[in-house]
Structure 1
Amino acid sequence: MSKPFNSPERASKISAPYKVLCVCLGNICRSPTAEVILQQQALRAGLDIQVDSAGTSNYHPNKTPDSRSQRHAQAHGYDLSHLRARQLQLADFQDFDLILAMDHDNYADILRLKAQADQVNAKVALMSAHDAIYPKQALPDPYYGGADGFERVIAQCESSSAAWVKYWQSQGIG
């Protein structure tokens, strides 16, 4: 039997924020940048969206984002300094509504982990799933490259975030 529309349990679910998790490999370059940019764009659009980030690996537990990511983000008005790396957990598939992979390899890793989860609420998609400028393209990992890679991350995260905001608005999400 379903809950009445105005029941307290149903009301809290309706008013809860839509929760999104951005995921890359190490959670120190791409996904923290995506987290902050997506959160800011959702807030500017007046959407009730809560954004977090994680990595498929546990290479940098509790570390701040890469200093180069922080520097490039700061130059564009984004502050990553408060973030700390963490690894994607099975519970995330229940706790989040949407998990956004930064590239195809992480997308596959996320789906493998999702298959192990007992309870699943989250849908999984590429960060660029709705992006007309970078359609379904991987967000390249800038870790071993130069400044242009970090700038590309910001540009693609801005473009993909705007596309997600537009999609959520069209779907009445947030």
Structure 2
Amino acid sequence: MGTQPPTCTGGCQCGAVRFRVTGRLWDASICHCRMCQKAFGAYYAPLVSTRGLQLEWTRGEPKRFQSSNLVRRGFCADCGTPLTYEAPDGIALAAGAFDEPALLPPSIQYGVEARLPFMDTLPGLPARRTEEDEAAAEFLARIVSRQHPDHDTADWPPPPAA
């Protein structure tokens, strides 16, 4: 892992829910199980355990869905960003919801029986940077992001421009 600060922050896409974790995050994983695929709307769920650390909701709090008899899943009720996996042994946060997800590389994969068969071929796919997509250039030039920045803010959303 890279140099990780003693406190890591993150939140949802719209900024309605923000969190802070105090302590060294070390238990990052990827889960391929079908329940995690559906909860994240993705091929797998990247998660970081907060077990034994201090987790604080600094703005708002997730809405929760009881996805099984033992697990709840937290998400932003405003924008839908997946945020938590809450089991009897602790809470894991969505790795992509952290402000600096590159500091949290996974060290293990779970639920590999449901791993999609093409996952190992992804590195071989053609790749291009966003600005290299000439067909989307006009569309991209018109985008005005409403996504919360990757750092804490005193207020959100910002006041409208004068």
Q: TM-score, normalised by structure 2?
A: 0.27
Higher RCO (C-alpha 8 Å, min separation 6): 2
Which of structures 1 and 2 has the bigger CA Rg? 2
Larger fraction in strand: 2
Larger fraction in helix: 1
